[in-house]
């Protein structure tokens, strides 16, 4: 979501300053590539690049193609073959060994349904969404581009695009971006159904100095970050400028102050056992994806015992989403290292991964989306 957020901010700035712009989107990948379908980059007519469509090997030429799309005020499909081993060809620096199809869309700022305006709708609510983009790998054919925003069954689709509703709903349910060939208006196209998950919300119970690097790292990833503690002197916006909210909250009222859903992650690190215990108690019946508890395993075991003595039922299923000690085992000692291990663990849980080294992975790094 950070990439989309950055693109939206740059779009608003370009619009205000009367600049012209184009949106570059990776719409299809064959083989290996640094970025996957759905990666985006906004290009303004003065050469500013926001976002990325590769690891850097394609951006130079992509800038030229985007400027051409801006000049011609049209959509263009460009195919990059990074599997060619000639040093003069794209991708040799990274050895990507894949074919990348990128769609360049000229942005009509006066069109309320232009590609970035549709992306803006995904950021209006913390809910999953799908954006539909139609294109053709035949560069001589017309390139319809980004056409549809879909959030749920209540989303309104014009009659023109009603035939896509079943697939849009399927992508929303499966939470997986999909690229497939279709027939639309008696013509052959490819469709990118780009699944865009709701923004991650990280709620940190605690306002000590060790929270600062965790806020910084989570902010870099584009997560919503909320800091809460009962201590007035520690819990200030000045101490956590990158946090989306900083609240003074007493433990007995903690959970009621946050929207909690499956994209909500908690880390309890107040260094106050009673405060953390009360917060954990309130979270037991909530559908948060992850609850991390800072401290040794004996602390968490004691918390479970105390909760049971209070009459709380801590089932095995509940324990599966409670992580203590919090973080991946990377040998972390300093607050910065601990923050790194925590963010990495949350990302692994978010993606359903185990956090192991990629060198031991026998299958592809990324799942195929085609």
Cα 200 to the chain's mean position, in Å? 7
- Residue range 123-149, pLDDT digits in tens: 888 899 999 999 999 888 999 999 999
- Residue range 5-20, pLDDT digits in tens: 999 999 999 999 999 9
Residue of 251, 272, 261, 259 whose CA lies nearest to 226: 259
Length of the chain: 370
Residue of 263, 228, 261, 262 whose CA lies nearest to 244: 228
- Residue range 151-193, pLDDT digits in tens: 987 677 888 888 899 999 999 999 999 999 999 988 999 999 9
Q: Does the pLDDT value for residue 97 go beyond 80?
A: no
Q: Does the pLDDT value for residue 66 go beyond 70?
A: yes
Q: Does the pLDDT value for residue 65 go beyond 90?
A: yes
Is 329 or 360 the better-scoring residue by pLDDT? 329
Residue spans per domain, the chain: 2-196, 201-351
pLDDT, position 96: 61
Q: Which of 81-90's residues contact partners 24+ apart within 8 Å by CB, and which partners?
A: 82/33, 82/57, 82/58, 83/31, 90/57, 90/58, 90/61
Q: Does the pLDDT value for residue 72 go beyond 70?
A: yes
pLDDT, position 189: 95
Phi, psi (deg, nearest 5) at residue 21? -155, 160
The rounded mean pLDDT for the chain is 92
Distance CA 70, CA 22 (A): 6
Q: Where do the DSSP E strands lie in 32-128?
A: 40-44, 49-51, 76-81, 98-106
Distance CA 81, CA 174 (A): 30
- Residue range 296-342, pLDDT digits in tens: 999 999 999 999 999 999 999 999 999 999 999 999 999 999 999 99
Cα–Cα–Cα angle for 272, 278, 282, nearest 5°? 145
Q: Does the pLDDT value for residue 370 go beyond 80?
A: no
Contacts of 268 (CB under 8 A, 6+ apart): 205, 206, 276, 279, 280, 291, 292, 293, 294
pLDDT, position 369: 60
Q: Does the pLDDT value for residue 88 go beyond 50?
A: no
Q: Report whether 349 contacts 290 (CB < 8 A).
A: yes
pLDDT, position 220: 95
Distance CA 122, CA 222 (A): 14
**pTM of this prediction exceeds 0.85:** yes
Q: Does the pLDDT value for residue 69 go beyond 90?
A: yes
Q: Fold for 201-351, please state it.
A: Rossmann fold (3.40.50)
Q: For the packed helices 335-351 and 211-220, what is the interaxial angle rounded to 10 degrees?
A: 40
**pLDDT confidence bin for 81, thresholds 50/70/90:** confident
**pLDDT confidence bin for 31, thresholds 50/70/90:** confident
pLDDT, position 159: 81
- Residue range 35-64, pLDDT digits in tens: 899 999 999 999 999 999 988 888 889 999
């Amino acid at each position: 979501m950070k990439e989309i957020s950055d693109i939206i901010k740059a779009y608003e700035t370009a619009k205000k300053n009367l600049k012209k712009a184009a949106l570059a989107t990776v719409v299809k990948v064959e083989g290996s590539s640094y970025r996957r379908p759905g990666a985006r980059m906004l290009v303004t007519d003065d050469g500013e690049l926001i976002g990325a469509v590769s690891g850097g090997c394609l951006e130079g030429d992509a800038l030229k193609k985007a400027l051409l799309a801006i000049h011609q005020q049209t959509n263009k499909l460009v195919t990059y073959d990074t599997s060619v081993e000639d040093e003069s060809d794209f991708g040799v620096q990274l050895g990507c060994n894949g074919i990348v199809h990128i769609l360049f869309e000229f942005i009509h700022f006066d069109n309320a349904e232009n590609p970035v305006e549709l992306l803006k709708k995904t950021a209006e609510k913390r809910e999953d969404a799908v954006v539909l983009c139609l294109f053709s790998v035949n560069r001589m054919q017309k390139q319809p581009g980004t056409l549809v925003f879909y959030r749920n069954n209540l989303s309104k689709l014009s009659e023109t695009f009603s035939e896509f509703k079943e697939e849009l709903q399927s992508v929303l349910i499966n939470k997986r971006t999909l690229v497939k060939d279709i027939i639309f208006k008696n013509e052959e196209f490819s469709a990118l159904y780009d699944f865009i998950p709701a923004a991650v919300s990280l709620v940190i119970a605690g306002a000590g100095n060790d929270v600062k690097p965790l806020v910084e790292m989570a902010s870099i990833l584009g997560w919503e970050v909320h800091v809460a503690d009962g201590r007035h002197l520690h819990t200030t916006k000045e101490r956590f400028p990158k946090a989306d909210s900083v609240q003074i909250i007493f433990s007995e009222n903690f959970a009621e102050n946050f929207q909690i859903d499956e994209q909500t992650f908690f880390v309890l690190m107040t260094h106050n056992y009673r405060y953390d215990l009360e917060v954990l108690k309130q979270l037991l019946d909530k559908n948060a994806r992850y609850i991390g508890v800072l401290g040794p395993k004996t602390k968490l075991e004691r918390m479970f015992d105390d909760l049971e003595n209070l009459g709380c039922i801590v089932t095995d299923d509940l324990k599966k989403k409670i992580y203590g000690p919090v973080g991946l085992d990377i040998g972390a000692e300093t607050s910065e290292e601990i923050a790194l291990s925590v963010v990495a663990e949350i990302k692994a849980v978010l993606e359903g991964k185990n956090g192991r080294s990629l060198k031991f992975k026998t299958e592809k790094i990324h799942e195929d989306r085609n």
